[in-house]
Structure 1
Amino acid sequence: MGDSHKLLLVLGILFFIIGNGCSLISEKNGDGRHWLWKCIEGRCIRKLGSAGASVTQSSPESCRLVCGRHGALWPRPTGATTLADRVLTFHPSSLRYDLEYVPSASRDFMEGAIEIFNNNLVKECEGNCTLLSDTILSIHMTVNSDDLSLNWSTDESYSLDLSTKGKNITIQINAETVFGARHGLETLSQLVTSYKATSSVYSVPRIGLIIVSGAKIRDKPIYSHRGLMLDTARNFIPLPAILRTIDAMASTKLNVFHWHITDTQSFPLESPRVPQLVRFGAYSPEQIYHVKDVQHVIREAKQRGIRVLLELDAPAHAGAGWQWGPAAGLGDLAVCWQHQPWRQRCIQPPCGQLNPANPQLYRILADLYRDIAELFPPGEFFHMGGDEVFFPCWNATKQITDLLESRGMGREQADFIRLWAEYQATALRIYDEAAGSVNSPRAPPGSTLAPPPIILWSSHLTNPSIIENYLQKDRYIIQTWVPKDDPLPTQLLERGYKIIFSTKDAWYLDHGFWGSTQYHSWRVAYDNILPRFKSVLGGEVCMWTEYVDENNMDSRIWPRAAAVAERLWSDPSSSSKFAQARLARHRERLLRRGVNPEELQPFWCYQNEGECA
Structure 2
Amino acid sequence: MTAKGNELLALAGILLCSSSWVSAVNDNSLLWLWQCDSSKETCSRLANESNTSADSTLYPSLETCRLVCGKYGALWPQPTIGTELGNKLFTFSVSSVKFIYPPQEGDVKTYLQEITKLFINSISAEDTSDCSELTNTVTVNLDVLSENTDLNWNTSESYSLQIATDGNKNSVKISSNTIFGARHALETLSQLINSYPNNDGSKCLVILEEAKISDVPTYPHRGLLLDTARNFQSVASIKKHIDGMAYSKLNVLHWHITDSQSFPLELPKLPNMTKYGAYSADKIYHPDDVKELVSYAKLRGVKIIIEIDAPSHSGNGWQWGSNAGLGNLAVCVNQQPHRSYCIQPPCGQLNPINPKLYEVLKDLYDDIITMIPKNEVFHMGGDEVYIPCWNSTPEIIDYLGNKSRTTDTFLDLWSDYQSKALEAYDAVVGNSNTPIILWTSHLTQVEVIEKYLPKERYIIQTWVPAADNLPQNLLDLGYRIIVSTKDAWYLDHGFWGTTTYHNWRNVYNNKIPSSDATLGGEACMWGEYVDDSSVESRVWPRAAAVAERLWTNPTTSDTEAEQRFYRHRERLVSRGIKAEALIPRWCYQNEGECQ
Say whether residues 1:238 and 2:237 are aligned partners: no
Contact 1:103 1:143 in 2 (8 A): no
Shift of 1:380: 1.3
Deviates more, 1:371-380 or 1:105-114: 371-380
Match in the other structure for 1:427: 421
RMSD over aligned Cα atoms: 1.8
Residue of structure 1 aligned with 2:35, choices 29, 33, 38: 38
Match in the other structure for 2:85: 83
Match in the other structure for 1:69: 71
Which aligned pairs between 1:200-239 and structure 2 lie closer than 5 A?
A: 205-239=201-235
- Provide structure 1 residue ranges, at least 5 long, that are not aligned to the other structure: 1-19, 200-204, 438-449
Contact 2:523 2:543 in 1 (8 A): yes
Contact 2:227 2:256 in 1 (8 A): yes
Distance 2:247 2:103 in 1: 25
Shift of 1:88: 1.4
Could you give the per-residue CA deviations for residues 462-519 of structure 1, whole angstroms, max 9, x where no partner exists? 0100000000000000000000010111111100000000000000000010001111
Identity %: 51
Given the superposition, is the C-alpha separation of residues 196 and 114 from structure 1 closer, same or farther in structure 2, using an over 3 Å criterion?
Answer: same
Shift of 1:177: 0.5
Distance 1:606 1:432 in 2: 53
Shift of 1:207: 2.3
Contact 2:195 2:203 in 1 (8 A): yes
Shift of 1:34: 3.3
Residue 537 of structure 1: SS of its match in structure 2? strand
Match in the other structure for 1:288: 284
Give the aligned length.
570
Match in the other structure for 2:11: none
Q: In structure 1, what residue type is equivalent to 2:428?
A: A
Residue 577 of structure 2: SS of its match in structure 1? coil
Q: In structure 2, what residue type is equivalent to 1:183?
A: H
Contact 2:157 2:181 in 1 (8 A): yes
Match in the other structure for 1:23: 24
Say whether residues 1:389 and 2:385 are aligned partners: yes
Residue of structure 2 aligned with 1:560, choices 523, 538, 542: 542
Q: Provide TM-score, normalisation by structure 1.
A: 0.90
Match in the other structure for 2:355: 359
Match in the other structure for 1:48: 47
Shift of 1:25: 6.2
Could you give the per-residue CA deviations for residues 77-126 of structure 1, whole angstroms, max 9, x where no partner exists? 00110111111111110011111366643111111111110111111225
Which aligned pairs between 1:191-590 and structure 2 lie closer than 5 A?
A: 191-199=192-200, 205-405=201-401, 408-437=402-431, 451-590=433-572
Residue 459 of structure 2: SS of its match in structure 1? strand
Contact 1:35 1:46 in 2 (8 A): yes
Given the superposition, is the C-alpha separation of residues 572 and 102 from structure 1 closer, same or farther in structure 2, using an over 3 Å criterion?
Answer: farther
Contact 1:45 1:608 in 2 (8 A): yes
Q: In structure 1, what residue type is equivalent to 2:581?
A: E
Match in the other structure for 2:114: 112
Contact 1:103 1:145 in 2 (8 A): no
Q: Provide TM-score, normalisation by structure 2.
A: 0.93
Residue of structure 2 aligned with 1:594, choices 552, 564, 576: 576
Could you give the per-residue CA deviations for residues 243-291 of structure 1, whole angstroms, max 9, x where no partner exists? 0100110011101000000000000001111011011111111111000
Match in the other structure for 1:605: 587
Distance 1:470 1:389 in 2: 15
Given the superposition, is the C-alpha separation of residues 37 and 599 from structure 1 closer, same or farther in structure 2, using an over 3 Å criterion?
Answer: same
Given the superposition, is the C-alpha separation of residues 240 and 25 from structure 1 closer, same or farther in structure 2, using an over 3 Å criterion?
Answer: farther
Residue 473 of structure 2: SS of its match in structure 1? helix
Contact 2:194 2:206 in 1 (8 A): yes
Contact 1:27 1:35 in 2 (8 A): no
Residue 323 of structure 2: SS of its match in structure 1? helix
Match in the other structure for 1:17: none
Shift of 1:131: 7.1
Shift of 1:524: 0.6
Could you give the per-residue CA deviations for residues 207-245 of structure 1, whole angstroms, max 9, x where no partner exists? 221111111000000001000000000000000110010
Could you give the per-residue CA deviations for residues 283-303 of structure 1, whole angstroms, max 9, x where no partner exists? 111111000000001001111
Distance 2:328 2:419 in 1: 21
Q: In structure 2, what residue type is equivalent to 1:44?
A: C
Q: In structure 1, what residue type is equivalent to 2:316?
A: A
Match in the other structure for 1:15: none
Contact 1:268 1:278 in 2 (8 A): yes
Given the superposition, is the C-alpha separation of residues 560 and 257 from structure 1 closer, same or farther in structure 2, using an over 3 Å criterion?
Answer: same
Could you give the per-residue CA deviations for residues 325-353 of structure 1, whole angstroms, max 9, x where no partner exists? 12212221111111111111111111111
Contact 1:132 1:208 in 2 (8 A): no
Residue 70 of structure 2: SS of its match in structure 1? coil
Match in the other structure for 1:189: 190
